Amino acid sequence: MSDTSASPIPVYKVTAINLGNQRVDHSLMVSERGFGQSVDMPAWTAAIEGDGKRILVDTGIADPAWVEKVMVPCWLEDHERFDRALGDLGWSPNSVDIVINTHFHHDHCANNRLLPNAQFYATAKEWEYAQAPIEPQAVNYSHHYWEREPLTIFNYVLIGTDYFQIAPGLMTFFTPGHTPGHQSVLVNTDEGKLCVTGDAVAFRQSFVEHRCGAILVSVKEAMESLDKIRGLADRVLMNHDPLLIQHQSSGFPSILEMEGSAGDGPQVEGSPTA
């Protein structure tokens, strides 16, 4: 008789690496909270390893001078530059197998073109929207990092279905609101189901106060995406969380613990610890 038992689901190691910093108003990250309060916001990439694969969720900032010229103060420390950050993990650009872009804003895809051997994943809706975004968001797409030599549309799998399995124990799911085609990633880890949120949720305060960010195309969809993440994940790696530390690979924020602190009053986010 053949063995019909299910194969064990792979367990992945997820490491946060910061690939740039921007100084923004707190109220952009948590709607109607912290007006006039500047916060230094990192651009975290999730480096995922397991089941024989090396995977990046987003690829950070490449040109801080351009960002500062057209948007907000922006900088890269030496250890946050792409080659150095991967090298500190023992990776190289050539060793990355898969890149999942949550969306195509400048701080989430700027190093895509440096990964010659990767298979890229984005949603079809995000690809289409990035060609002609609404005016308030157009500046975020001004550098066509997602399709610049040597990359073309043929380097991407354009996802058109929700709950898309990239590999066993690792899937994407739709989380629109910040952009129409935004997606997040759910990963099986030894601490439970970890969601790499992208910009669907930026700060822990969003879970404490049940409040989305303010850079978006739809408040309704953003709130629905926040609830969707709450229902799927045990922990979250938020791509702009100022309270993570470089190379953190465990102890990511627990949704239950954050929601349980709701009675403690509003949280004020600090700057990242290098």
For 35-60, write each residue's pLDDT tens digit: 788 889 999 999 999 999 999 999 99
Specify the pLDDT at position 39.
Answer: 86
pLDDT digits (tens, 9 = 90+) for 190-202: 999 999 999 999 9
Interior/surface letters 116-151, b for 16+ CB within 10 angstroms, e for the rest: eebebbbbebbbebbeebeeebeebbebebbbeeeb
Q: Does 153 fall in a domain?
A: yes
pLDDT for residue 274: 31
| 97 C-beta neighbours (distance < 10 Å), count | 16
Query: ∠ CA(171), CA(58), CA(219), 5° rounding?
Result: 75
Provide the CATH number for the domain around residue 160.
3.60.15.10
Given a contact cutoff of 8 angstroms between Cβ atoms, the answer to whether 59 and 45 are in contact is yes
Confidence tier at 3 by pLDDT (50, 70, 90):
low
Q: What is the pLDDT of residues 90-116, one digit of tens each?
A: 999 999 999 999 999 999 999 999 998
More confident residue, 34 or 26: 26
Question: What is the distance of C-alpha 102 from the center of its chain?
Answer: 6
From 22-36, 106-120, 130-144, the region with the lowest mean pLDDT = 22-36
Residue 268 within a domain: no
Count of beta carbons in the 10 Å neighbourhood of residue 220: 11
Structural domain containing residue 45: 13-263
Domain count, the chain: 1
Report the distance separating Cα 57 and Cα 47, nearest Å: 7
Q: What is the pLDDT of residue 75?
A: 96
* Mean pLDDT computed over 147-169: 94
* Cα 5–Cα 192–Cα 198 angle in degrees, nearest 5: 120
Specify if 273 maps to a domain. no
**What percentage of the chain exceeds 70 in pLDDT?**
93
- Tokens of residue 74, six digits: 């922006």
With a cut of 90, say whether residue 266 has pLDDT above it. no
